[in-house]
Structures are given as C-alpha cells and as structure tokens.
Amino acid sequence: MKNDDLVICRCEEVTQADIKEVISQGVTRMNEVKRLTRAGMGLCQGKTCGRLVTGILARETNQPLQELKPPTSRPPTRVLPLGILSRTTQDDD
Amino acid sequence: MRIEDHPILGKAERGKRITLNVDGEAVAAFEGENIAAALIASGRRVFRYTAKRMEPRGVFCALGRCTDCVMIVDGQPDVRTCVTPARDGMVIQTQVSRREGEATHDLEKEKD
C-alpha cells in the first residue's frame, strides 16, 4: 500500500492522497484542509488525525509546525447524546 | 483470553460474572470491566463498520479518545466501549456508522 493510500482521518476515512490533493490546489491552513477533506470533522474531532494532518501540511508547504494553528473543533469534545442538552434542570430534580 | 496475573497490576480482581447480549448472542463478562475488554476476551475484534467504505473497526486507542470502538449500547449509538463499564443484561449491537441518519443497517443487505 503506497503511503498516500493510508487513512489519516479514521473517523471520516480521509486518506493522505485526499489531503495532498487539496494542498496541491494551494491550501495552506489547517481549517481549509478540514473544510475541503472533512479530516478532523468526525466523532473524535481531530484528536487522532489533527497532528498527522498538521505534519503533512507542514511538510508539503514547508511551513514550520508551530505556525500551523490547529483547526477549530466543534464542541462537545466528548461524544454526547443531544437529549442531555434538551433536558432542563427541572427535569433532573 | 484474559490476563489473570499482571506483572505490574498484580492479580486481577474480577467483578461478579454477568452476561451481555451482543448482536443476539450471550457474551460472558465481569461486572465493571469495560465492554471492549469483554468482547475481545470473547474473541471478538470487529465492533463497527465505517460509513464510507464499510470497513471493520474495533479498539484502537483504548483510552476513550479515538471513538473507533463505538457500538450501539442499549439502543444508544456512538458509545465508546473501551471506557464504558459492562453491566449485566446490556444489549450491544454492531454499529454500522450512520449514512443518512440511520444508525443500524442490515449487515447482509449492505454487503451485496
């Protein structure tokens, strides 16, 4: 298996090839990679692929790692059924 | 296969024996151990199938971060089995990750 076929974002099944593809079209920031490939939008919100994608982006665009701000991640950072949010405090008493 | 006598953690203290209903089959477990451990001890590796490529997934990080071990537990999808303690009578189903919002698919129908 060539490296590019490796799945980088396990939740959204995004491969290194997908990521390199958008980078070759001139993407330079993490949020752009996320929005175009969905890498980092899955259930774990980038906990698994965040660093990997940053490494690929840094290498492909030879930007220093420190300058690559992590993408925005959407709360809740923990997997949470929405039913919990809809219950008001009175329901709990 | 369970580790009974761990070189560092020492002898395993087990909760009482319980039974989990996993996709209709009874799986023996110990109360308090996490669901993923019980499933792996029963020889089961595949916990879910991914949405896009229908690929089998199971325990990956084993510490509650990667969500690769999620299954449907007592009707609720996206439950991380590697950090969820097992309780007697839990109904656990393989999760075929959602496409168009449908949590459970008929596995055979999906495969052909």
Give the ipTM. 0.78
Q: What is the pLDDT of residue A18?
A: 96
- Give the start-to-end residue ranges of the domains of chain B: 5-94
Residues B8-64 pLDDT 10s = 989 988 999 999 999 999 999 999 999 999 999 999 999 999 999 999 999 999 999
Task: Measure Cα distances from B91 to A16, A67, B12, B22, B100 in Å.
Answer: 37, 47, 25, 6, 24
- Answer yes or no: do A11 and B55 touch at CB < 8 A: no
Our CA-based measurement puts residue B36 at a distance from the nearest CA of chain A, in whole angstroms, of 17
pLDDT average, residue stretch B83-110: 75
CB atoms within 10 A of CB B40: 20
Residue B112 has pLDDT above 50, yes or no: no
User: What domains are defined for chain A?
Assistant: 2-92 (1.10.10.1100)
Residue A87 has pLDDT above 60, yes or no: yes
Single-letter amino acid, residue B77 = P
Query: Please, which residues bridge with residue A7 across strands?
Result: A15
Chain A residues near residue B84 by CB distance under 8 angstroms: none
Residue B11 C-alpha from the chain's centroid: 24
**Whole-model pTM?**
0.81
**pLDDT band for position A93 (50/70/90)?**
very low
- Answer yes or no: do B57 and A10 touch at CB < 8 A: yes
Residues A8-25 pLDDT 10s = 999 999 999 999 999 999
What is the CATH architecture assignment of B5-94? Roll (3.10)
